[in-house]
Chains A and B, each alone.
Chain A
């Protein structure tokens, strides 16, 4: 656990933790609002935005692509709400319609404009590139106190930490209206709270988390972390804020364990190469959900009590 760990593993693990927590926190409320697939939707709809960002600037740098992705995500959120209201369909159906259409539009755009010739490959987007986010300038644990070395940390770490902080602040400040309107939107509106505004805010926050994480670690982690840690935590408790806290812990554990297992697991088993960290993180969290579903204390809806 020396220089090599700090150089190669510390920053991917930290980025993985931040990405997992930034997605899992809003995921709790999306799950309770039956919008859990939003992370999935967002990670698909950003494609046309990324392509347009590339076409407008001609570079594959992160800035314009992030902006394009954000714009795409916001457009998708508005379209989903519009389809849901005008079409009077379930949120899941509205998301399915919008995200497949926009993803398909992105693919067409990619093909017809020649952007596909450049390095905008889909596999990269899917698997992410967690292992490559190394801290090259580090010389050991001491580098954590060295401003010059710290400045050379991958920029994804700062972005992801910012997204995680935004998620924590959003939940902390808006916790009461968030719970009240998620539980009973009619009551929240009748009492003059603004559930539609809050709903839009939650979705925008989720989109921001998803785009940031998508860009840093790929779609698999985003999709898994929005749904799996909250669903696992829900099986372990009947208290909402316990669930939110547990989901963050589960997400962070999955990130650490998944990264370590991907890097060293195959070697322990006598293999030659490590496997995708993003894939392993998602698999580990899935196994956690399986355990919770089999043994979690709240996996059954309990029978109603006899009348008091």
Chain B
């Protein structure tokens, strides 16, 4: 048990949890980035993973997905090994992780979310296209469908990334810094999409860096600084003590006051 505060009374049985991580350690560039992390996502909630720069937030998410190797730890998705549940999981990487000068259109990116249905040689049928277009519509980017992706603003690109995940029709969404470098309108659009997913009973996990919006946006919070320092309902976890433990006492009184 490495957490300062944990609230087990609210945790689901492991087999019901959309995402359960036990004892995960991973390194990044030769240094330990995440140490012995336990995460239990509650179905139908919006969860944030928050911590200072270099706390291992993205590494934790990538290690869960197998994008960086895990040294130790078990991951189950809906009670099963990840490899058998990938179809129920959607991942939105950091926007900066790809080259937006890539010669595809917005609709092509959304269609990538349908790779499982389309297979290698399956023909694109009207209902496939309709699903990709519905996903774009939900993120307010349908009118950009025929544009090359490099023509879009950063916020529009982030919404297209979200649309690709929506087109997958997943039950668990993992988003890495979805609000990084986007405009206020995009932030509001993304947040309303995420809330509507939650209201449909889906589970959403975001790596997040903006402490001032955590309480407004999320139901549950996981504080991370290499180790998990606290995990639970946002109003219980978001305490001065937990934040100072996570941020190494570097937050000022004024900063703490602004958070709640």
Give chain A nearest CB distance to B113 CB in angstroms.
8
How many B residues touch A, CB cutoff 8 Å? 48
Query: CA of A286 to CA of B156 in the docked complex: distance in angstroms?
Result: 37
Query: CA of A168 to CA of B139 in the docked complex: distance in angstroms?
Result: 36
Q: Which of A183, A190, A192 contacts B104 (CB 8 A)?
A: A183
Give chain B nearest CB distance to A227 CB in angstroms.
16
**Does B179 sit at the interface, judged by CB under 8 A?**
no
Query: CA of A192 to CA of B66 in the docked complex: distance in angstroms?
Result: 10
Q: Which residues of chain B are near A302, meaning CB under 8 Å?
A: 150-151
Is the CB–CB distance between A184 and B121 below 8 Å?
A: no
- Return the chain A residue nearest B157 by Cβ: A304
**Does A186 sit at the interface, judged by CB under 8 A?**
yes
Q: Which residues of chain B are near A186, meaning CB under 8 Å?
A: 62, 67, 91, 93, 97
**Does A136 sit at the interface, judged by CB under 8 A?**
no
6 contacts between A and B (CB under 8 A): A180-B115, A182-B102, A190-B93, A192-B86, A305-B147, A308-B144
Is the CB–CB distance between B65 and A190 below 8 Å?
A: yes
Q: Which residues of chain A are near B154, meaning CB under 8 Å?
A: 304
- Return the chain A residue nearest B98 by Cβ: A184
Give chain A nearest CB distance to B192 CB in angstroms.
16
**Does A4 sit at the interface, judged by CB under 8 A?**
no
Query: CA of A239 to CA of B112 in the docked complex: distance in angstroms?
Result: 15
Query: CA of A301 to CA of B101 in the docked complex: distance in angstroms?
Result: 8
Q: Which residues of chain A are near B183, meaning CB under 8 Å?
A: 307
- Return the chain B residue nearest A191 by Cβ: B86
Is the CB–CB distance between B115 and A191 below 8 Å?
A: yes
Q: Which residues of chain B are near A88, meaning CB under 8 Å?
A: 29
Query: CA of A308 to CA of B174 in the docked complex: distance in angstroms?
Result: 26
- SS class of chain B's interface: helix, strand, loop or mixed? mixed
Given A191-B168, A240-B103, A301-B101, A177 and B93 contact (CB-CB distance below 8 Å):
no
Is the CB–CB distance between B104 and A179 below 8 Å?
A: yes
Query: CA of A198 to CA of B155 in the docked complex: distance in angstroms?
Result: 31
Q: Which residues of chain A are near B168, meaning CB under 8 Å?
A: 191
Give chain B nearest CB distance to A76 CB in angstroms.
25
Q: Which residues of chain A are near B152, meaning CB under 8 Å?
A: 304-305
Given A301-B150, A305-B153, A190 and B89 contact (CB-CB distance below 8 Å):
yes
How many A residues touch B, CB cutoff 8 Å? 31
Contact mask for chain A residues 266-308; partner B; CB cutoff 8 A; 1 contact, 0 none: 0000000000000000000000000000000000011011111
- Return the chain A residue nearest B154 by Cβ: A304
Q: Which residues of chain A are near B151, meaning CB under 8 Å?
A: 302, 304-305
CB contact list, B55-109 vs A, under 8 A: 62, 65-67, 83, 86-87, 89-91, 93, 97-99, 101-105, 108-109
Q: Which of A179, A189, A306 contacts B66 (CB 8 A)?
A: A189
Query: CA of A289 to CA of B183 in the docked complex: distance in angstroms?
Result: 38
Q: Which of B99, B103, B153, B164 contacts A304 (CB 8 A)?
A: B153
Is the CB–CB distance between A190 and B67 below 8 Å?
A: yes
Is the CB–CB distance between B65 and A189 below 8 Å?
A: yes
B interface residues with partner A (beta carbon < 8 Å): 29, 62, 65-67, 83, 86-87, 89-91, 93, 97-99, 101-105, 108-109, 112, 115-116, 118-121, 140-141, 143-144, 147-148, 150-156, 164, 168, 174, 183, 185-186
**Does A11 sit at the interface, judged by CB under 8 A?**
no
Is the CB–CB distance between B103 and A176 below 8 Å?
A: no
Q: Which residues of chain B are near A139, meaning CB under 8 Å?
A: none
Top 8 A-B residue pairs of the complex, sorted by shortest distance between their CB atoms: A190-B91, A192-B86, A238-B148, A186-B93, A304-B153, A190-B65, A240-B103, A184-B98
**Does A173 sit at the interface, judged by CB under 8 A?**
yes
Give chain A nearest CB distance to B54 CB in angstroms.
17
Given A173-B121, A187-B164, A307-B153, A193 and B115 contact (CB-CB distance below 8 Å):
yes
Q: Which of A32, A184, A191, A238 contacts B97 (CB 8 A)?
A: A184
Q: Which residues of chain A are near B118, meaning CB under 8 Å?
A: 176
**Does A237 sit at the interface, judged by CB under 8 A?**
yes
Is the CB–CB distance between A240 and B104 below 8 Å?
A: yes
Is the CB–CB distance between B156 and A308 below 8 Å?
A: yes
Is the CB–CB distance between A239 and B102 below 8 Å?
A: no
Contact mask for chain A residues 229-240; partner B; CB cutoff 8 A; 1 contact, 0 none: 000001001111
- Return the chain B residue nearest A193 by Cβ: B115
Q: Which of B83, B93, B120, B148 contacts A192 (CB 8 A)?
A: B83
Give chain A nearest CB distance to B75 CB in angstroms.
12
**Does A243 sit at the interface, judged by CB under 8 A?**
yes
**Does A174 sit at the interface, judged by CB under 8 A?**
yes
Give chain B nearest CB distance to A221 CB in angstroms.
25
Is the CB–CB distance between A191 and B143 below 8 Å?
A: no
Is the CB–CB distance between A191 and B91 below 8 Å?
A: yes
Q: Which residues of chain B are near A177, meaning CB under 8 Å?
A: 115, 120
Query: CA of A240 to CA of B99 in the docked complex: distance in angstroms?
Result: 14
Is the CB–CB distance between A243 and B103 below 8 Å?
A: yes
Q: Which of A192, A238, A306, A308 contacts B103 (CB 8 A)?
A: A238
